[in-house]
Amino acid sequence: MNKVSMTVNGRTVSADVEGRTLLSSLLRDDLHLTGTHVGCDTSQCGACVVHVDGKAVKACTMLAAEADGADVKTIEGMANADGSLGVIQQAFRDYHGLQCGFCTPGMVMSAAALLEENPKPSEAEVRDYLEGNICRCTGYHNIVKAILAASGQQVEAVAAE
């Protein structure tokens, strides 16, 4: 067993983990942060994206021990301090950027990383950045609109269904 310590969503945590324990398992099983979804276990779907030291990573392919001493942010850390939805989360809601919701945490975390790197991306840049995230429900159109809206760019409104 290895002792790992890290800051997760602003809170210092420690755990004893086996060397093979994935960061996604630590977050979900030990820390009960189940917003980080695991869809494929092969780094293909992007549902498990979290930020480690400010960088988007797929938690299903990173060992928990590799995050020792790191600052980790999960979807649970994306809300505002008062518990209301953060800007990106609200945009996903307003622009119908989710359906079943399974991919949404990874999409939001990827969007946050993109907007940190490129605050005003083009539609093509958003689509390119999301290449590592799979959504089987939406066709990505409204996800892209939500990310553009979260960046403060003008996008056409989505008709209420």
HEC sequence for 117-157: HCCCCCHHHHHHHHHHCCCCCCCCHHHHHHHHHHCCCCCCC
pTM: 0.93
2.60.40.3670, 3.40.630.40, 3.40.50.970, 3.10.20.30: CATH of 2-77: 3.10.20.30
d(CA 31, CA 10): 13
- For the beta carbon of residue 84, count every other beta carbon within 10 angstroms: 9
On the question of pLDDT at 138 being above 80, the answer is no
Mean of per-residue pLDDT scores for the chain: 94
d(CA 75, CA 31): 13
Q: Which residues make Cβ contacts (< 8 Å) with residue 48, sequence separation at least 6?
A: 24, 36, 37, 38, 39, 58, 59, 60, 106
3-state secondary structure of 65: helix
Give the tokens for residue 36.
């980080």
Give the pLDDT confidence score for residue 56 in this predicted structure.
97
Question: What confidence tens digit (pLDDT) does each residue in 57-79 have?
Answer: 999 999 999 999 999 999 999 99
On the question of pLDDT at 155 being above 90, the answer is no
Fold of 87-156: DNA polymerase; domain 1 (1.10.150)
Give the tokens for residue 104.
């949404």
On the question of pLDDT at 158 being above 80, the answer is no
d(CA 22, CA 78): 22
- For the beta carbon of residue 155, count every other beta carbon within 10 angstroms: 17
Residue 119 binned pLDDT confidence (cut-offs 50, 70, 90): very high
Give the pLDDT confidence score for residue 159 in this predicted structure.
57
- Domains of the chain, by residue range, sit at 2-77, 87-156
Residue 135 binned pLDDT confidence (cut-offs 50, 70, 90): very high
Question: What confidence tens digit (pLDDT) does each residue in 17-53 have?
Answer: 999 999 999 999 999 999 999 988 788 999 999 999 9
d(CA 98, CA 150): 14
Specify the higher pLDDT residue, 70 or 158: 70
